[in-house]
Structures are given as C-alpha cells and as structure tokens.
Amino acid sequence: MAKERLDKVLAHLGLGSRKEIHRLARAGLVYIDGQLVRDAAFKFDPTLCRIEVNGEEVVYRAFFHLMLHKPAGYITSTGDRDGQPVTALLPEEWQRDDWMPVGRLDKDTEGLLLLTTDGELLHRLTHPRWKVKKRYYAELASPATPADVEAFALGFELDGEPLQPAELSLHADPRKVELVIREGKYHQVKRMFAARGNHVTYLRRIAFGPLALPSDLAIGESRPLEADEERSLYEAVGLPSR
C-alpha cells in the first residue's frame, strides 16, 4: 500500500475529523511504531505500522461493513433529499461519509440491509452476473397458488424485461410466502406479484447472499459484520477478503 497522511488514515478509521486529528497529534497523543508523531501530514504505510492513539492500539482496516435491520419509513440512501436516510439510524461511532447501501429496500420495506465502504464488493453483490440470492418474506392481499410457484420458477417477463427464475415458497397460510430472487430490479418483488394479479401488503428482506437477518438484531438496530460474515460475502462473489 502507498504511504498515506496520518490525518487521512485516522479520519478513515473514524477517529475524528482531520481538524480533530491535527489537535490529537499536536497534543502528543499519536505514536507510529512507538515513535511520537506530532505532524498530521506525516506519511506512512498503515498496513505495516503499529498505530497508537491516546494510549490505545488502533488496528487499520481498508473497508468497513455493517448490517442494519431497516424499519419502514426510511429511505435506502445516505442523503436526506427524499426522506430520512437509513444512515440516520446508525450510532454516532459508526457514522461515516462513505457508506454505500448494498441494493435498495423501498421506504415501506423492512429487513436486512448491508452497508459497505468497498465499491467492488458492492458492485459484485448487486450485479446480476453473480446471481447473489435475496430472500424475502411477504404478506399478500390474496393467497398465492401453486401456479404462481411454477410461473416464478420458470421465469417471465416484467414490463418487457426477462426475469431470472425465482423460488416461491408458500406458508400454511398462502397469503404468507417467501421468495428468493437473484437480481434487484426496481420494486421487483411487488411488481412480480402485481403481474400475477396480487398485491404485497408487507415485505421484509430476511437474507442477502450467505447472511440471514439475525433474530437478535432488533428493528432499527445495526452492528458491524463479524469476520466470518465478511469472508462469506467476499467468497460469494469470488473476491478475497480485504
């Protein structure tokens, strides 16, 4: 990795704004490989050096990933132009300017939403070529039928666009279903059922690729991905963990 400025590295790690990091350095609270560094413009390779701030070691990482249990009423965006963004739900210590949502959930849709700072991972997880599965739980205005199961499995056109085969499973009450899709077209789940003459009254994403929505992650809550969860996401799209 090329050498980076101290203020850029520590800001990337969420230790404050560049102005705040300049103050930390001037106060004598930053050590690189055991050496006091007071110049925030100091350049070093953070992947090779030991970083200590205010007496604690800071582990460098290139990318960050979170899972969020999205509630209804929030938009899958990092800006607030069209409503309250999902990033408003994150605690202060996880607020960043470079979060990118992995796929979108409608404003009234709940469930598992991944956030990442890795653009290549985002691209692969959302590109149809990689056929990453997204599983949804839906409640319908009318009962789904075995004919719907067959139609989804065969694939059909949606407004002139061919869809990849999907897996529809009916609960004991056929107005409650689970659906697995491998692409992410605009309002896809709702439009698929509308094409079959039905209407989605409630929708929740319960899994994305190898990750399922944890039962202990309350609605509106978020947490960083664990190391094995990160690895499974990268493996799902043929990337090495980084």
What residues are annotated to the active site?
A: 106
Nearest to 164 by CA among 127, 203, 196: 127
Q: Any idea which residue has 């203020």 for tokens?
A: 7
DSSP letter assigned to residue 164 = P
What does the block give as tokens for 113? 């939403």
Residue 112 CA, distance from chain mean position: 8
Which amino acid type is present at position 54? Answer: N
C-beta separation of 121 from 233 below 8 A: yes
Strand 200-208 and strand 110-116: pairing?
A: parallel
What does the block give as tokens for 16? 């404050």
